[in-house]
């Protein structure tokens, strides 16, 4: 990067069902970018929206050639769309920002300042009082933070959000990941020393278009599964612990039966209790097989070189 001039910027924006908010997003984001950089670009990655988001994106590009438009053939999810956009980034600093304007483009200078002072990754941190998400998404965020701390060693002081900035070198490290189930936060903490990852306090508001969030509960669970299964052995280890616990209880139950038969009376427990135990153990066996099957299925996907995302069209 040329230190005598302002750094060039790439803003990667995963787009989904945002035809109404994109013009406003572009107006606010471009206005802010013009104040902090002489050279910038916005990469809009349309994640197979069913509304007119692609047409609106192309109209914005016709007005401003600094906008690049990418259209995926089918809906892959926010993580994949963001990673796709990172692969097209070419400027000194790369920011990722959602298109719903819940986070403020006007906070971009806060990220740039942190990067200019030595940070390699800067993540926007939203205070609990400022979050404007549904309760289940706030709960999911807390679960994500907790799991990230235990799985990838994320410091408790570091918050996570999709509003983040990084150097181009870090972005290229993320793009080098070719797995079918990317989790960008996990990839960042595995690629960059934690001392070079910092937070910056950002603002947060409700959607200005009045639409409900497109980040549904199933999508949240899917993203969490990428972290839990593809970046850890946590489910397998939990099943091992659960299996040991059941074995110990079974041994204790067997000892109780023996003591009862020889020292109390000769009657055996009824068939109802036996049926309950068999059903319980069978359910646990099926659960363990299901978890193993999920791991094996994802191993097959990785070995089969399944595309992370499929680009249908692009306007550069």
| Nearest-angstrom CA–CA distance, 151 and 248 | 28
Domain boundaries of the chain, sorted by first residue: 9-232+307-315, 234-303
Question: Is residue 74 within 8 Å of residue 140, measured between CB atoms?
Answer: no
Q: What is the mean pLDDT of residues 32-41?
A: 95
| Secondary structure class of 145 (helix, strand, coil) | helix
Residue 171's pLDDT is 96
Give the sheet arrangement for strand 40-46, strand by strand.
197-201, 121-125, 164-167, 93-96, 9-15, 40-46, 67-72, 311-315
Q: What is the mean pLDDT of residues 244-269?
A: 73
Residue 260's pLDDT is 73
| Nearest-angstrom CA–CA distance, 57 and 22 | 7
Question: Is residue 188 within 8 Å of residue 166, measured between CB atoms?
Answer: yes
Share of the chain above pLDDT 70, in %: 81
Extract the tokens encoding 172.
């290229």
| Nearest-angstrom CA–CA distance, 295 and 148 | 19
Tell me which fold the domain 9-232+307-315 belongs to: Spore Coat Polysaccharide Biosynthesis Protein SpsA; Chain A (3.90.550)
pLDDT, one tens digit per residue, over 174-221 is 999 887 788 898 889 989 999 999 999 999 887 665 565 555 667 667
Give the global pTM. 0.77
Share of the chain above pLDDT 90, in %: 43
The two beta strands, 9-15 and 93-96, are parallel
Question: Is residue 163 within 8 Å of residue 100, measured between CB atoms?
Answer: no
Q: What is the mean pLDDT of residues 125-131?
A: 68
| Nearest-angstrom CA–CA distance, 69 and 58 | 7
Judge whether residue 4 has pLDDT over 60. no
Q: Which long-range contacts (CB under 8 A, 24 or more apart) does 139-145 make?
A: 140/217, 140/220, 140/221, 140/224, 143/224, 144/185, 144/223, 144/224, 144/227
Q: Which residue has the tokens 């690629």?
A: 191
CB within 8 A of 209, min separation 6: which ones? Answer: 18, 20, 21, 100
pLDDT, one tens digit per residue, over 92-112 is 999 999 998 989 999 999 999
- Confidence class of residue 128 from pLDDT cuts 50, 70 and 90? low
Q: What is the mean pLDDT of residues 286-310?
A: 74
- Confidence class of residue 166 from pLDDT cuts 50, 70 and 90? very high
Residue 270's pLDDT is 64
Question: Is residue 300 within 8 Å of residue 59, measured between CB atoms?
Answer: no
Higher pLDDT, 37 or 1: 37
Q: How many CB atoms lie within 10 A of CB 224?
A: 16
Question: Is residue 70 within 8 Å of residue 13, measured between CB atoms?
Answer: no
Extract the tokens encoding 160.
């996570």
**What is the average pLDDT value for the chain, to the nearest integer?**
83
């Amino acid at each position: 990067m040329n230190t005598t001039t302002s750094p060039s910027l790439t803003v990667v924006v995963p787009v989904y069902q945002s035809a109404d908010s994109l013009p406003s997003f572009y107006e606010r984001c471009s206005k802010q970018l013009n104040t902090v950089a002489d050279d910038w670009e916005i990469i809009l990655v349309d994640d197979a929206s069913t509304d007119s988001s692609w047409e609106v994106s192309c109209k914005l590009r016709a007005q401003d050639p600094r906008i690049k438009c990418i259209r995926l053939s089918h809906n892959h999810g926010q993580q994949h769309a963001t990673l796709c956009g990172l692969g097209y980034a070419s400027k000194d600093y790369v920011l990722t920002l959602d298109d719903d304007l819940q986070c403020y483009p006007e906070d971009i200078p806060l990220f740039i300042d942190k990067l200019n002072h030595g940070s390699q990754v800067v993540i926007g941190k939203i205070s609990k009082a400022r979050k404007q998400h549904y309760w289940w998404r706030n709960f999911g965020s807390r679960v994500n933070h907790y799991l990230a701390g235990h799985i990838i060693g994320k410091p408790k002081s570091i918050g996570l959000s999709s509003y983040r900035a990084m150097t181009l070198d870090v972005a290229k490290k993320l793009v080098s990941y070719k797995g079918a189930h990317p989790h960008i936060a996990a990839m960042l903490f595995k690629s960059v020393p934690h001392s070079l990852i910092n937070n910056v306090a950002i603002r947060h508001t409700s959607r200005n278009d009045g639409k409900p969030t497109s980040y549904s509960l199933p999508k949240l669970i899917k993203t969490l599964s990428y972290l839990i299964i593809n970046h850890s052995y946590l489910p397998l280890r939990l099943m091992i612990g659960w299996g040991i616990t059941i074995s110990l209880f079974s041994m204790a139950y067997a000892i109780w039966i023996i003591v009862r038969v020889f020292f109390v009376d000769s009657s055996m427990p009824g068939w109802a209790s036996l049926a309950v135990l068999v059903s319980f153990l069978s359910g646990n066996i099926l659960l363990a097989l299901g978890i193993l099957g999920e791991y094996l299925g994802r191993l097959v996907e990785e070995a089969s070189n399944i595309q992370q995302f499929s680009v249908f069209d692009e306007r550069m």
